[in-house]
Amino acid sequence: MKGFKKVLLAALAVMLVLSMSFAAVFAAESEQKTFVATANGKEGGSQLSVTFSIEGLSANCQRADKVTGIGDHIKVNGVLVSEAEESDPASQVQIHQRSNMFWIYTSGYQFKKGDTVEFLAGMGFVKAGEGDAVCVADSPKIDATLAEDYKVIMALDGNWAVLPADGAIKISGLEPLVAIEENLKDYASKQLTLKFESLFSGDVLNDLQKDADVAGKIKFGGKTVTEINAANTLENKLSQPVDAIRIDSTGSALVFTIDDRAEVNGEEVLADLTTFSADVMTTPSGLELKEAYTRTYYATYDYWVTTVSPVIPAEGDKVLHFKTLGNDWSIGGDATNKSITFEFYEDICDETNAGAGNANFYASLPRWILSNATGRTVESVDKAVSSGAYEAALTKILVDGQDIRTIQAGIEGDAAKSTAVMLHYNKNKAQIYIPAGLIALDEDHVITIKAGMVFPTGYYVEQDMVFTYSAATQKLSTTSVTDITLNKTEGTLAVGDTETLVATIAPAGATNRMVEWSSSDESVATVDENGKVTALKAGTATITAKALDGDKTATFTLTVKEAATSVTLNKTAIELSVGASETLTATIAPSGADDAVEWTTSDESVATVDENGKVTAVKAGTATITVTTKNGKTATCTVTVKAEEKEEPASGGCGSAVAATASALGALLVAGAIVVLFRKK
């Protein structure tokens, strides 16, 4: 056991799953290239297969171990195959190169934990086209050579793991959760496994939640394991303190045991959309995680995605339009499955059936797609999940009122569920397979694609699309368009202005809602596919919206006027008393230009102005009235509002009578004096 531990500590080995990917660099004809290799094999077996992703190799060399440049560049447990003594396992090795795959066989020896196989720099690959006889007898030509040493080890779980030559480790991914039921001592919990492409530690390590270099670098919901454990005070059923999250290393993986009672940010640790992150760190064995790792948890599917990029339907933005039915139940599928193909005008996924963007929704869990659907990539499935397209596929397609998730829920067994309803996305087509047992062709049925259905490319269904199956005709049909209307039938624009028209299709459940827009005179005005009209020059044009289903049309008569070059007012200043009003007149140049204007006041408490230019004085003060054309030309008038004039109040009584009498007598005396003066002359 001590010798085995030394191998483990030196090589830093432990468990990995059956398939482990690692990078290998080759030099072919002096040119270095990077390839991916996959190592497979089990403890107790007598073979290890390593597949290199090298294109163009087609050699079939049965005894490549005898070829100079191969057998002398492979070590088993540190001993070169070409130099092994009879007692060495390496002496029992035979190597078979078939195309880009190396098979390492042992005769009479079974691989065990701690065994290592090394591929040394300079190891060759037999040239494409060289045959078996040539391999043994004629020293075949080498087509490519390994540029760097690479090493694998039989880990504690009996699988082959990669040993990082530079001490740098990489994360492979997060595994599905495993529920652990409560027992007499502990409450229920969940286990989450973080797997590494190579090794995390050289031995089994427990209670790493107490290691700040590990627990302080791993976060759930933005909080480190250290912080979460400090914030949760928990005990087991024996009243013993326990950590909310425990971390153990199996060598090539970290296992997190998360108490179901634990919380972070007021929610359970593994709530929907919880983020998990592992920052750059140095492991207890001195290995380095040089690339940070972040994933987001979708609890509904028990699935972790790289990037969250939800498609949020917005009115008028990337609306999906149905085009036609590819086939129907009367002719589609076979005795087991009946298929329907929905074709759209826009692309619903990025690639064709041969590409990674094609989405196959065989079942209700994304990982089933990756395990069952050839050619699917983690990136394409992540996009389907995080965009909402995956959830939409399960909940927005109804068969007689039941969504796919509900149909699957009524079927027992994962294998049966996975083929209950099969949905394929292929460029601009969606194909749905429904088992014949779920659909009776002698009954009427309704298929509905619900509003809000989203797709990986960002397109979404704005209104329900309804399809009906008639048992009488045994045909699937669409709901036809009966009418189309526009939000307005006429209008005026200035040159350079735009306006977006809105077309309404009837009935609301019409399937093909695609509208084609056109202009009777594109030199006057153009219209795009979304109904946006752009005025180009003075004149008239008719904008037509045509429903592609049924050829129904609606029109909008547009008058285009020249844009204003200037605007003036009949007065630049006026004076009003409180309560008085006056109407200003705006003159636009050139004659015949768009005369639409807007009136505003700088101070409504002093003076107001209506849409016709009528100014009303409110209180004493000054305000500026501005008229603005549609293209921003302006003119102003200064309004001065005067306060109301106050009259002196009338007086009464004896005092006033005396004053009046005195005033009259004074006037008579003056008149008399004037007469006397004239007489004397």
> Could you tell me the two tokens for 238?
């024996």
d(CA 236, CA 428): 55
Given strand 223-224, what is the order of strands in its sheet? 223-224, 218-220, 275-278, 293-298, 303-305
Examine residue 613 and state whether it is found in any structural domain, yes or no.
Answer: yes
Domain at 504, CATH number = 2.60.40.1080
Q: Is 206 exposed, middle or buried (0-12, 13-18, 19+ CB in 10 A)?
A: exposed
The answer to whether the CB of 217 falls within 8 A of the CB of 224 is: yes
Contact 556, 532 (CB under 8 A): no
Split at pLDDT 50, 70, 90, the class of 92 is: confident
Which residues lie below 8 Å from residue 677, measured CB to CB, with a gap of 6+?
none
- Report pLDDT for 517: 95
Same domain for 504 and 462?
Answer: no
Measured distance CA(327)–CA(634) in Å, rounded: 62
Q: Does the reported pTM lie above 0.75?
A: no
Assigned domain for 292 exists: no
Q: Is the pLDDT of residue 664 over 60?
A: no
Q: Is the dihedral of CA 548, 554, 557, 563 positive or negative?
A: negative
Residue 257 located in a structural domain: no
Does 268 fall in a domain?
no
Residue 317 CB coordination number (10 Å): 13
How many other C-beta atoms can be found within 10 angstroms of the C-beta atom of residue 576? 18
Whether residue 463 is found in the same domain as residue 541: no
Q: What's the pLDDT score for residue 198?
A: 75
φ/ψ region of 77 (left if φ > 0, alpha if ψ in -120 to 50, else beta) reads: left
Judge if 398 and 440 occupy the same domain. yes
Considering the domain boundaries, does residue 612 fall inside one?
Answer: yes
Quick one: 549 and 487 in the same domain? yes
Considering the domain architecture, whether residues 616 and 570 belong to the same structural domain is answered as: yes
270 in any annotated domain: no
Helix (H, G, I), strand (E, B) or coil at 428: coil
Alpha-carbon distance 62 to 104, whole Å? 11
Q: Is 496 left (phi over 0), alpha (psi -120 to 50) or beta?
A: left
Query: Which of the four pLDDT bands, split at 50, 70 and 90, describes residue 639?
Result: very high
Average pLDDT of the chain is 79
Tell me, yes or no, whether 40 and 111 share the same domain.
Answer: yes
- CB 14 within 8 Å of CB 200: yes
For residues 463-487, average pLDDT = 87
Alpha-carbon torsion (391, 392, 394, 396), positive or negative: positive
Digit-coded pLDDT (tens) for 581-599: 999 999 999 888 888 899 9
Residues 576 and 162: their CA atoms lie apart, in Å, by: 92
Say yes or no: 533 and 585 in one domain. Answer: no
Pairing mode of beta strands 573-577, 634-642 = parallel
Query: Per-residue pLDDT for 402 more than 70?
Result: yes
Number of domains in the chain: 4
Q: Is the pLDDT of residue 157 over 70?
A: no
pLDDT digits (tens, 9 = 90+) for 218-268: 999 999 999 999 999 999 999 999 999 999 998 778 999 999 999 999 999
Q: Where are the beta strands (DSSP E) in 528-612?
A: 532-535, 539-547, 553-561, 566-569, 573-577, 581-583, 586-589, 597-601, 607-609
- Does 130 share its domain with 39? yes
506 and 557 housed in the same domain: yes
Lookup: tokens for 512: 């093909």
Query: Are 99 and 137 in a shared domain?
Result: yes
pLDDT at 640: 95
Per-residue confidence at 21, pLDDT binned at 50, 70, 90? very low
Q: Which residue has the higher pLDDT, 15 or 523?
A: 523
Question: For the CA atoms of 23, 28, 33, 34, what is the dihedral angle to 10 degrees?
Answer: -10
CA atoms within 13 A on the CB side of 329: 30
The two tokens of residue 393 are 């596929």
pLDDT confidence of 336, banded at 50, 70, 90? low
Note the pLDDT of residue 231.
Answer: 96
Domain that holds residue 591: 566-642
pLDDT at 647 exceeding the cut of 70:
no
Name the DSSP letter for residue 159. Answer: B
Residue 529 lies in a domain: yes
Residue 559 has a pLDDT of 93
| 520 and 572 assigned to the same domain | no
Q: CA quadruple 74, 80, 85, 88: dihedral positive or negative?
A: negative
In sequence order, what are the residues at sequence separation of 6 or more whose Cβ sits closer than 8 angstroms to the Cβ of residue 513? 321, 322, 462, 463, 481, 505, 547, 549
Residue 651 lies in a domain: no
